[in-house]
Amino acid sequence: MATATLTSKGQITVPKSVREALGLDSGDRVEFVETEKGEFAIIAATRSIQELNGKYRGRRGKPVSIEEMNAATRKRAARSR
């Protein structure tokens, strides 16, 4: 298993084996996607969105309306001020 240490600046070096498996090069972006409470997946942001098709099937909650999305956006924006 590959491991990394968090620096005082909040940075990590992604181990070579992980970079190779994700196809990452210098300057590429990664996304941290919460899969469960306290667990995250690292996704190479350089990949096509089509590659994610079906990856999170069954992990969605109930569908939300546009009004609920707008309310959540307003609430989050108010907290960031």
Domain boundaries, the chain: 16-79
pTM above 0.75, yes or no: no
Q: What stretches of the chain show up as alpha helix (H) in DSSP?
A: 16-22, 66-79
pLDDT of amino acid 28: 87
Q: Which of 9, 12, 42 is nearest to 24 (CA)?
A: 42
User: What is the rounded distance in angstroms from the CA atom of residue 75 to the CA atom of residue 43?
Assistant: 27
pLDDT in tens, 14-42: 999 999 998 888 888 898 988 888 899 98
- Find the angle CA(72)-CA(74)-CA(75) to the nearest 5 degrees: 65
CB-based contacts of 64: which residues, under 8 Å, 6+ apart?
72
